[in-house]
Amino acid sequence: MNYFFTSESVGQGHPDKCADQISDAILDQFLAYDKEARVASETLVTTGQVVIAGEVHSEEYIDLQQVARNTINRIGYNKSEYQFDGNSCGIINSIHEQSGDIARGVDNGDEDNQGAGDIGIMFGYAVNETETYMPLTSYLSNFIVRTLDEVRHEGKIMTYLRPDSKAQVTVEYDGETNKPIKIDNIVICVQHDPVFKSEECMQKEITQDIRDIIIPIIKSQIERENIRKMLDGDFKILVNPTGWFEIGGPHGDTGLTGRKIIVDTYGGRGAHGGGAFSGKDSSKVDRSGAYAARYIAKNLVAAGVSDEVLVQISYAIGKAEPMSLYVNTYGKSHVKMSDGEIADILRKTLDLRPKAIENTLKLRQPMYSETAAYGHFGRKNEYVTKTFTSRYHPTKEIEVELFTWEKLDLADEFKELFFS
């Protein structure tokens, strides 16, 4: 029997994503001027107010307020009518020094054997149903909110758009093959200006714009023909089901860092260890371990080891070597060995100590602001030049490689390991 699976995503103006983006912008600013900075930045946003808390160990001083204001304005909260804007919101800074009890587990005098910054379990997942090795539902929901934001920032069409948005995609799967068959429905909540005559008029116009503008933009960027055909299907689109959505963002709902962890990962497919990513430097294995697990899972699928892979890594605070490595191929493996044997080979082959992960994936770059909206996985690995300004430091231009954990440079090695 066929079944349905649903994933959601949120746009950059969603209050929780505002908090994530501020936290990661703070992390990037520290790393731009002190690549060894230890940061755990948490942000709360609400009506006209931002609270920044957490702990930092760094030799440099950063203007956290200005970083937060720049981020809020970049997202699009730059009008007083939103009841939250970067130029006028109050900002409370409660950052303090990192706990010595945490620092001692990382600073053990042996850089290569730097201990994990926390206890925890991390998961990585990949499946071959999209070109990005992401689940189709997560892939499409992220695509929708990202396109809405791009159109809003361009400001030429759909000029009624405000920053807050959310999308949910339901796909029907074949019960025997577990392959996606068609899109069943898309639900979109998008904040808008008070320009519509009635709720019915608003829902009708936005629905038409989704079909005529947003869907074609998405289709033009999708590589796989079967997915493009699904977007031509007769699926239901539901827009702003409660009616008006004029009040949104941090004025409509308080936002917190780390409250969209399923949006950040695989849309509910695979598994999640529970730890949030944003605002944390790479000594926190919540982040670096999850990136490493995705890197392994994606390359295993790309190498043809399995059509679907889940990888779990666990750590103990202060210890360098992982406590365990687990692999699940969901019975879709193409190699003549058990999942346990696959995991054993990986553990003997890969260096999964925190410092080794940092070095392999170049995690000491100021590369994190880009991860704080539209998911951390399934993104484009590319080089960009980023400019950092500060009243306390010279302006810096830094070439940064983004989304290094999305590279497929292990695929050939895995083919050699598992097929030769």
Tens of pLDDT, residues 302-340 = 999 999 999 999 999 989 999 999 999 999 999 999 999
Q: Which of 319, 253, 296, 248 is nearest to 104 (CA)?
A: 319
Most distant pair of Cα atoms in the chain: their distance: 67
Q: pLDDT digit of tens for each residue in the chain (420 aa)? A: 999 999 999 999 999 999 999 999 999 999 999 999 999 999 999 999 999 999 999 989 999 999 999 999 999 999 999 999 999 999 999 999 876 656 555 665 667 678 787 889 999 999 999 999 999 999 999 999 999 999 999 999 999 999 999 999 999 999 999 999 999 999 999 999 999 999 999 999 999 999 999 999 999 999 999 999 999 989 999 999 999 999 999 999 999 999 999 999 999 999 999 899 999 999 999 999 999 999 999 999 999 999 999 999 999 998 999 999 999 999 999 999 999 999 999 999 999 999 999 999 999 999 999 999 999 999 999 999 999 999 888 999 999 999 999 999 999 999 999 998
d(CA 164, CA 76): 9
Chain centroid to Cα 286, Å, comes to: 13
Cβ of 238: how many Cβ atoms within 10 Å? 13
pTM: 0.96
- CATH fold of 3-10+135-247 reads GMP Synthetase; Chain A, domain 3 (3.30.300)
272: nearest Cα among 264, 284, 283: 264
* pLDDT tens digits for range 51-87: 999 999 998 999 999 999 999 999 999 999 999 999 9
Residue 312's alpha-carbon distances to 7, 124, 125, 322, 339, in angstroms, are 21, 6, 9, 10, 12
- Fold entry, domain 120-127+284-419: GMP Synthetase; Chain A, domain 3 (3.30.300)
The reply to whether 120-127+284-419 shares the fold of 3-10+135-247 is: yes
Q: Where are the domains of the chain?
A: 3-10+135-247, 120-127+284-419
Q: Which residue, among 283, 279, 272, has the nearest Cα to 377 in the 3D structure? A: 272
Tokens 């392999």 belong to residue:
360
Positive or negative, the CA dihedral 357, 362, 366, 371 is: negative
